[in-house]
Amino acid sequence: MYQIVPVAPGEPQLDGSPLKKKPGYEGRPMVLAGLLGCMLVLAAVVAWCYYSASLRKAQLLNTELLQLNRDGFIIRNQAGAVIFTMAFRSGTVDLDSCSKEKNILRCTRSNTGKLNFFIQTIQPKDTVTCYRVRWEELEDKALVEHAMGCNASHWYGGAELATQHWPIKIQGEEEPRPFITSDVYSKRNSFGGILERYWLSSNATAIKINDSVPFHLGWSEKDRTLRFQARYLDSPFRPEEGQQAVPELSYRVCVGSDVTSIHKIMVRRYFPKPIKVPSPEVFMHPLWSTWALHKSAITQEKLLKFASDISKHGFTSSHLELDDRYTADYGEFDFDPQKFPNATGMFDKLRVDGFKVSLWTHPFINYDSINFGTAVEKGLFVREPGGELPALVRWWNGIGGILDFTNPETREWYSSHLHTLKNRYEITSFKFDAGETSYLPRQFSTMVPLSDPSTFTRRYSEMALPFSERAELRVGYQSQNISCFFRIIDRDSVWGYELGLKSIIPTVLTISILGYQFVLPDMIGGNAYPNRTAGVGENRGLPDRELYIRWLELSAFMPAMQFSIPPWEYDKSVVEIAQKFTELHKTLVAPRVLELAGEVLDTGDPIIRPLWWIANNDEAAFKIDSQFLIGDDLMVAPVLEPGKQERDIYLPAGRWRSYKGEHFDKGPIYLTDYPVDLDEVAYFTWVDSSN
């Protein structure tokens, strides 16, 4: 390998052999050529060794379709295209510390110190590859942050929001904040009352953040990233008892063949399923709430008249919902004798007339309630951090304590009062309001410490279990197995995406993707709050007439319908449209919904589905937020714009029949300016090509 170089002029021989004649000048080029050749050979050897080492390192840092770099990793699909990127924002990996054993790639150092980092490859199915990722700091560090790129795909999931878009729209620059349940009606920039640590991409990629992570979420419109952060500093998250406050960010990324199939796999693996279908009557017949019509001024006389008017105008009812405020003070469990002088007789009358009744309830006891002292004495409240005094909280109806549902005695006390009400008046169920962690004080203690504050939401939602056939919740966190109706947060009586009519489809699709299928889309026409109502000046405090009609039509194609402002508050024409669509809901929509509801128990698949569910390679279908599917074979396209009696409609590939009897079999196609009268909703049924 090495060439022997002649001794330089003037140097003695080292081996004692006789001296030879010194080479002349004419031999020097040969010496130089030999030196150069030696250097070239040596350089080639070094380059080959370096290349071999680099190749081995590259092979080491690749696992299946994932490639690790010092500052992040990428995942490619089978065709070689990059479909997922994750950047390490809080530190970089020392690649020389990495090793690979079977399906686990592990690194022990970052640029700041010792590290426990690994990526484990798992293949639950031939068409699916999952990567378990964990980054745990072993030295004192405040946080761990990774940033997921969203450039090349559309993303769905996460949380209910006040301004809901489908797919997710990344707007502005937002520092990571606690990913916990909040009341987005009052805190409009927060995450909502229904959330899960799960996101899904049109690139057939899904990510689930582990439950143990003190998880904070931010985003960057400039970088087109979602920022996933783990931290305990300046955070409501707490380490488990006996553990150090060392931040750890762990999650699982799964890649499949298409967006629908990967979602099905993630749901089966990570989401609990409901154990039964709620009452078929609630799917079939409208629920009638007293709230938007009467607010807290409800009385016995008004409730009886409300029921009488429902019957007089020819409407059916699954049940009446008696909302705020039927008690004398908040936190009591009997009727205010001033407003309801003969509650027993009232319920007898309603039963004779064929009405079931549910009651509003909540987790608060105001300080002026007769039950406040009892709850303090029994230790039923969430407490101050010291653990002795109840933590007073402010909610929309005053100041009081909030019940600690991690305490078995609190759960028993609260449940026993609800059962007493139910048995005394033959109440059918309850509307469980609030339950978001935003109503907990910033610093608090509970009987069972909460490392994740949203566990409070989970414990509160469990109180609905004994009443689940007709129960209603507005919060959910790991609560998919509770077989009740999940109501989206209160809507304003407006057209737009901020808690208005246009937000309903994106919100229902989002919480359906998160595993909550028995959806109640709030009251038709919204809540009619005076300062948040379109057209209020022309309609005696009522929402805009056209808005109400379009809202009614959309609700007819949801799993359940809920009235509060009754159609007869407008005119005879609105009553007739309402009768038409409640009948259509009962005969066309509800039977299909009930069939799909039965399948939810086994599959967890959504009842209300996005268009990409059946068109998972269709770029147009990924972006449509004003149409939806019921199952795979009924597609709905309501009008959601004021002053419009036409709309553009997208039909995915296949054969479709319109509600007017038209046939379309050249899809995918756009129907531009498709006519839809004020008393119509455009809907299309899938036609089996084999028929």
Q: What is the pLDDT of residue 17?
A: 43
Return the H-helix or E-strand segment holding 647: strand 646-651
Under the banding of pLDDT at 50, 70 and 90, the label for residue 666 is: confident
Whether 239 and 212 have beta carbons less than 8 Å apart is answered as no
- pLDDT for the residue numbered 43: 64
Going along the chain from its start, the domains and CATH numbers come out as 1-60 (no CATH), 62-270 (2.60.40), 280-361+407-607 (3.20.20.80), 628-686 (2.60.40.1180)
The whole-number average pLDDT for the span 453-470 is 97
Please, which pLDDT band fits residue 657 given cuts at 50, 70 and 90?
Answer: very high
Least confident of 102-111, 237-246, 266-275: 237-246
Q: Which two tokens stand for residue 655?
A: 């054969």
Contact 370, 364 (CB under 8 A): no
Q: Summarize the confidence of residues 616-640 as an average pLDDT.
A: 97
Q: Is 185 or 5 the better-scoring residue by pLDDT?
A: 185
For residue 292, is pLDDT > 80?
Answer: yes
Peptide bond before 167: cis, by omega within 30 degrees of 0?
Answer: yes
Whether the CB-CB separation of 386 and 348 falls below 8 Å is answered with no
Q: Which of the two residues, 113 and 216, has the higher pLDDT score?
A: 216
Residues in the chain: 691
Phi-psi region of 159 (alpha: psi -120 to 50; beta: other; left: phi over 0): beta
Nearest to 417, CA basis, from 384, 473, 459, 370: 370
Flag whether pLDDT at 3 surpasses 70: no
Mean pLDDT of all residues belonging to the chain: 92
**DSSP track, 170-237:** --SEEEEEE-----TTTSTTS--SBEEEEEEETTTEEEEE-TTS-EEEEEETTTTEEEEEEE-TTSS-
Is 389's pLDDT higher than 60? Answer: yes
Picking from 220, 186, 185, 215, the residue whose alpha carbon sits closest to that of residue 198 is: 215
Rg, Å, the chain Cα set:
32
The predicted-structure confidence for 118-156, as pLDDT tens digits, reads as follows 999 999 888 899 999 999 988 878 999 999 999 889 999
pLDDT at 372: 98
**What is the per-residue pLDDT across 551-603, written as a single tens digit (0 to 9) for each?**
999 999 999 999 999 999 999 999 999 999 999 999 999 999 999 999 999 99
> 411: how many CB neighbours lie within 10 A of its CB?
18
H or E segment to which residue 423 belongs? helix 408-425
Span 308-321, pLDDT tens digits: 999 999 999 999 99
- pLDDT of res. 691: 57
Decide if 444 contacts 383 (C-beta within 8 A). Answer: yes
Q: pLDDT at residue 297 above 60?
A: yes
Q: What angle do CA 152, 155, 159 make, to 5 degrees?
A: 155
- pTM of the predicted model, to two decimals? 0.91
399 strand-pairing partners: 394
Give yes or no for residue 263 having a pLDDT over 50.
yes
For residue 5, pLDDT beyond 50: no
CA–CA gap between residue 99 and residue 449 (Å, rounded) = 38
One-letter amino acid for residue 597 of the chain:
A
Q: Classify strands 628-630 and 608-609 as parallel, antiparallel or unpaired.
A: antiparallel
Averaged pLDDT, 491-501? 98
* Distance in angstroms (rounded) separating the CA atoms of residues 478 and 456: 11
For the segment 217-237, the average pLDDT, to the nearest whole number, is 97
Main-chain dihedrals φ then ψ at residue 321, nearest 5 degrees: -115, 110
DSSP annotation string for 303-361: HHHHHHHHHHTT---SEEEE-S--SSSTT--S--TTT-TTHHHHHHHHHHTT--EEEEE
Q: In angstroms, what CA-CA distances link 555 with 311, 523, 597?
A: 21, 9, 17
Q: What are phi and psi of 267, to 5 degrees?
A: -65, -45
What pLDDT, on the 0 to 100 scale, is given for residue 274? 96
**Total H helices, total E strands in the chain:** 14, 35
With bands split at pLDDT 50, 70 and 90, how would you rate the model's confidence at 541? confident
Contacts of 554 by beta carbon, 8 Å cutoff, 6+ apart: 501, 504, 505, 521, 638, 640, 681
Phi, psi (deg, nearest 5) at residue 402: -115, 130
Q: Does position 630 have pLDDT exceeding 90, yes or no?
A: yes
Instruction: Name the band, by pLDDT with cuts 50, 70 and 90, for residue 28.
Output: low
